[in-house]
Amino acid sequence: MATDKLHFETLQLHVGQEQADPATDSRAVPIYQTTSYVFHNSAHAAARFGLQDPGNIYGRLTNSTQDVFERRVAALEGGVAGLAVASGAAAITYTFLNITKQGDHIVAAKTIYGGSYNLLEHTLPTYGVNTTFVDPSDLNNFEKAIQDNTKAIFIETLGNPNSNIINIEEVAKIAHSHKIPLIIDNTFGTPFLIRPIEHGADIVVHSATKFIGGHGTSLGGVIVDSGKFDWNKYDDKFPGLTTPDESYHGVVYTERFGLEGAFITKATAQLMRDFGSIQSPQNAFLLNMGLESLHVRMAQHVKNGQAVAEYLQAHPKVAWVRYSGLPGDEYYELAQKYLPNGGCGVVSFGVAGGRTGAETFMKNLKLAQIATHVADARTCVLHPANATHRQMNDEELEAAGISPDLIRLSCGIEATEDLIADIEQALVAV
């Protein structure tokens, strides 16, 4: 089935399973709950392990339920290949490890999710990979931070939790002028709202746990390769992709699999083999189900986010609101360019009374519940300084734009009127 002419709503339902399951004629994507696969003979096994035959080898590397999910997300993002992993954190980690080694460097926006910040600021440096964090409001900061050993720029389409927007096309130009890829976390954006590859991104990552899954049931992450970055052209920077891999009998990934397959194949063959952060078949099944309703859910998330932001903006007990769909918001113009279908359902704001006011507000909500999760069908609320960004010190929080009064409200798909009524009664207590 040709996918290039199909609409988003059709792709999310059919890619990866264009025909019924050949073994069972199952209409739904089956859960292939198996650890291992049978080889026809020793030569067949050798071809699989030698990467000449692209089929299944072992459950730690690939799974057919997972394969459908990978192909589906890649198609929705406009990429050429995907790799599903156990979590969004694993997706980000694998992406960096796939192109860096000891002594390398990354440039990242300082407004990223707290977990990603911890990985780059504290964990990867212990393995010899360091990061410079920059204020993305001035794009020149990206240019200034790049070093000879820089291997990537990393940003988010919508920052977590502030929902800031960065001019993707301009950052892509900066990255490519320095012969490095632009990596974008599109968790909050989702391919329904924005496809970063169309704006110059080379690699896209997701925490599929969030909007893609949609129901807070399943952990998962996914990496999508655009297939557009020419690793061969900059072979001195990316030897892991362009020189022989002795652990696979000297295979050169760009030679064997081309630009469209090199990045994902290496991540699978090397990193999944050695670290084993595989997505479970059950979670792949549930995430596929989430994908099938993504466009319907995102429309309601956007509707609720916009309505809640407008309500909060007019409320006397609300000190400030950040939502790119509000005229006058500092990211409104960029949102019109990159998010024509609306911003996501995440609204950041502060209430009167600072940290104490924020805690009082959240305690009095009835529909919305305090939870680490975000981008759920049910409305969730969180105080990032006490939770997702708790590992940051006061200086780091300030640099990331995480004020003591900041509340992150992730609007679910409930009736808009009920959400606003819940917020209204909670504000009475502030």
Tens of pLDDT, residues 106-158: 999 999 998 999 999 999 999 999 999 999 999 999 999 999 999 999 999 99
CA–CA dist 251, 421 (Å, integer): 61
The average pLDDT across 289-294 equals 95
What is the H or E stretch that residue 46 is in?
helix 42-49
Sorting pLDDT into bands at 50, 70 and 90, what band is 418?
Answer: very high
Between 3.40.190.150, 3.40.640.10, 3.30.565.10, 3.30.70.890, what CATH number should domain 8-290 receive?
3.40.640.10
Which residues make beta-bridge pairs with 133? 108
Q: What is the pLDDT of residue 50?
A: 87
Domain positions in the chain are 8-290, 294-428
Q: What is the pLDDT of residue 213?
A: 97
Backbone angles phi, psi at 186, to 5 degrees: -110, 30
pLDDT at 392 over 70: no
What is the H or E stretch that residue 168 is in?
helix 168-177
Q: Kindly report the pTM of this predicted structure.
A: 0.93
CB atoms within 10 A of CB 391: 13
CA–CA dist 294, 316 (Å, integer): 35
CA–CA dist 178, 190 (Å, integer): 27
pLDDT digits 0-9 by tens, 55-109: 899 999 999 999 999 999 999 999 999 999 999 999 999 999 999 999 999 999 9
Under 8 Å between Cβ of 272 and 61: yes
Q: Which residue has the higher pLDDT, 187 or 353?
A: 187
What is the H or E stretch that residue 298 is in?
helix 294-313
Task: Name the class of domain 294-428.
Answer: alpha beta
CA–CA dist 325, 343 (Å, integer): 6
Q: What is the pLDDT of residue 99?
A: 98
What is the H or E stretch that residue 380 is in?
strand 380-382
Which residues make beta-bridge pairs with 381? 370, 409
Average pLDDT, the chain: 93
**C-alpha dihedral sign at 81, 188, 64, 41:** positive
Sorting pLDDT into bands at 50, 70 and 90, what band is 235?
Answer: confident
The CA–CA distances, whole Å, from 331 to 150, 251, 336, 401 equal 28, 46, 9, 14
Sorting pLDDT into bands at 50, 70 and 90, what band is 308?
Answer: very high
Angle between the N-to-C axes of helices 294-313 and 281-292, in degrees from 0 to 180, rounded to the nearest 10:
70
Task: Please tell me whether residue 372 adopts helix, strand or coil conformation.
Answer: coil
What is the H or E stretch that residue 118 is in?
helix 114-118
